[in-house]
Amino acid sequence: MKKKIHNEIRNNKSVMEESLDNQVEEQVMIELIIHGTGETEDSIHFHVDKKIVCASTFMSTILENDRSETRIELVLPKNITDPIQTMRWVIEFITYHTEYPFTPITKPLVSDNLLESSVCSWDNEFIMKSDQELVNLSLTANYLDIPNLLALCCAKIGAIMKSIIKQYHTKEEQMTAVKKRWHGADPTML
């Protein structure tokens, strides 16, 4: 009987220790150092929660290889024109989606309005960036292997393309209507 109670205490203790280890691991802050590229070569330090860093497969692999690592230095690819601002957006996106889970985007896109393709309003507002900023975010999400952010960027690019195609077809229809007016209803004249 004593042996059984002793084993139960030992098992409960190991469960509690494991639980504490998980809590400590979640609260570890990681120092992200982003080095600028191009002429300025600026760098910036971000102190972020480990679960933020682990949203990136690339960065979580770095941490898995050395569990004591609390510092990650990144040099983003040179074709990312503003790496520091882009990383701020990446951290903002991941931070939001640690609290509110990312909703998968309906494919193919229903229309050029992302809200109709199950994109939440926060993501829709977040992804309203200039073309260059959108490219920077896409390249960074791809480089750091952040699938949800990459999916959102690709959906936005797809929505832009749908909008351009819709505008093109609208102009083409308008031109056809003008030609019909000038040439009558004779289809050989079109």
Whether 27 contacts 49, CB under 8 Å: yes
Residues 107-154: pLDDT tens digits?
Answer: 888 888 999 988 999 999 999 999 999 999 999 999 999 999 999 999
Whether 156 contacts 134, CB under 8 Å: yes
Class of domain 2-189: alpha beta
Q: Which residue has the higher pLDDT, 19 or 83?
A: 83
Residue 91: pLDDT over 90: yes
pTM for the complete prediction? 0.71
Burial class (CB in 10 A: 0-12, 13-18, 19+), 98: middle
Rounded (10°) angle between helices 83-99 and 131-144: 70
pLDDT digits (tens, 9 = 90+) for 33-88: 776 655 455 677 888 888 888 899 998 888 888 777 788 888 888 888 888 899 99
pLDDT number for residue 19: 38
